């Protein structure tokens, strides 16, 4: 379906406009409907102006996969994405607790974990974000360089923790008192 090769989604959170077009295209791709809560990328806004797109960072050591008690989580060799086998997933949320950023969440009506699968290697969220000119999410080639590979994991952060850093960058001193 694509000739992009292995890709990764680079993120620049301060550029996120909060338009949530990423949530729309993601849920259309995966669910066939506009369904923000079932989107694999969710934009958190714990403080207005501090928008934080929360999506899988494809950690090199895959703690979610290791934690999964049923073997429902695997890594796709071709794309590098995390795949969840929804028939095997029991919705136990072990992957949520194992993820350094608590990124997976359960499908709102079906009992299985939602994790970004990179749309099979051609991620819709990053495409629309670039087309719209925001470039908060951008498709870059996946690397096998160990240094960069380890850096992916830095993007797996909990919404509160990420917000703390971003609010200080955006609002300076005035932001600190909002936490």
Partner 1 sequence: MSGRGYAGKFAEIDLSTGSIKETRFPEEVLRRYVGGRGLGVKILWDRLGAKWDEIDPLGPENILLFLTGPLTGFFPGGRICITGKSPQSNGVVGSTIAGEFPAELKCAGWDGLIITGESEKPCYIFVKDSEIDIRDASHVWGSRAKKTYLTLVKEVRDELNAKNPLYGEWKEPAIYMIGTAGEKKVRTAGVVGKWAHGAGYGGYGAVMGSKKLKAVLVKGTGPLPPVADHEKTMQLIKKVWRINFQHDLNRRWGTGYAGYNVGAQYSSEPVRNWQEEWHDERSFGVDEFERRVWVKRYWGDFNCPTTCLKLAVVRTGKYKNSIADNPDYELQAYEGTNLGIFTPEENVYLVSVIEEWGFCGIQVGNTMGFAAELYQRGILTKEELGGIELKWGDADAFARLAEMIAKREGIGDILAEGTFRAALKLGEMKGLDLLKYAVQSKGIGIGAHGIRSGLDYPMGISYACSVQGGDHTSVALIPITRTVSDHSMMMSDSGVYCLFNELYLKKEEIIEFFNAVTGFGYTVDEWYYDIAMRIVEIQRAMLLLGGPDVKWRIDENPARFYEPLPSGPKKGQAPTREEIEKMKQEYYKIVGWDERGIPKSETLKKLGLEDVDKVLREKLEL
Structure-token match 């919404």, residue found: 159
168 binds partner 1, rule: CB under 8 A: no
Looking only at residues 119 through 138 of this chain, which bind partner 1 when binding is defined by CB under 8 A? Answer: 128, 131-134
| Residue 51 neighbours by CB under 8 Å, 6+ apart | 13, 16, 17, 18, 43, 44, 45
| Residue 135 neighbours by CB under 8 Å, 6+ apart | 12, 15, 129
What is the gyration radius of the CA atoms in the chain, in angstroms?
16
Looking only at residues 71 through 90 of this chain, which bind partner 1 when binding is defined by CB under 8 A? Answer: none
> What is the x/- site pattern for partner 1, positions 19-48, by CB under 8 A?
xxx--x--xx--x-xxxxxx---xxxxxxx
From 91, 110, 148, 165, residue interacting with partner 1 (rule: CB under 8 A): 91
Distance CA 73, CA 86 (A): 9
Residue ranges binding partner 1 (CB under 8 A): 14-15, 17-21, 24, 27-28, 31, 33-38, 42-49, 54, 91-93, 96, 102-106, 108-109, 113, 128, 131-134, 158-159, 170-174, 178
């Amino acid at each position: 379906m694509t000739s992009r090769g292995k890709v990764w989604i680079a993120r620049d959170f301060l550029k996120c406009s909060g338009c949530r077009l990423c949530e729309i295209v993601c849920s259309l791709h995966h669910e066939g409907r506009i369904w923000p809560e079932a989107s694999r990328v969710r934009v958190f806004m714990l403080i207005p102006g501090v928008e934080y797109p929360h999506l899988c960072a494809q950690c090199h050591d895959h703690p979610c996969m290791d934690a999964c008690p049923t073997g429902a989580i695997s890594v796709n060799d071709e794309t590098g994405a995390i795949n969840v086998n929804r028939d095997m997933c029991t919705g136990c949320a072990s992957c949520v607790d194992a993820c350094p950023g608590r990124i997976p969440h359960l499908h709102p009506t079906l009992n299985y974990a939602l994790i970004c699968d990179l749309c099979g290697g051609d991620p819709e969220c990053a495409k629309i974000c670039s087309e719209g000119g925001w470039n908060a999410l951008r498709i870059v080639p996946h690397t096998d360089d160990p240094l960069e590979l380890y850096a992916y994991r830095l993007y797996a952060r909990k919404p509160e923790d990420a917000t703390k850093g971003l609010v200080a960058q955006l609002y300076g001193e005035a932001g600190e008192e909002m936490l």
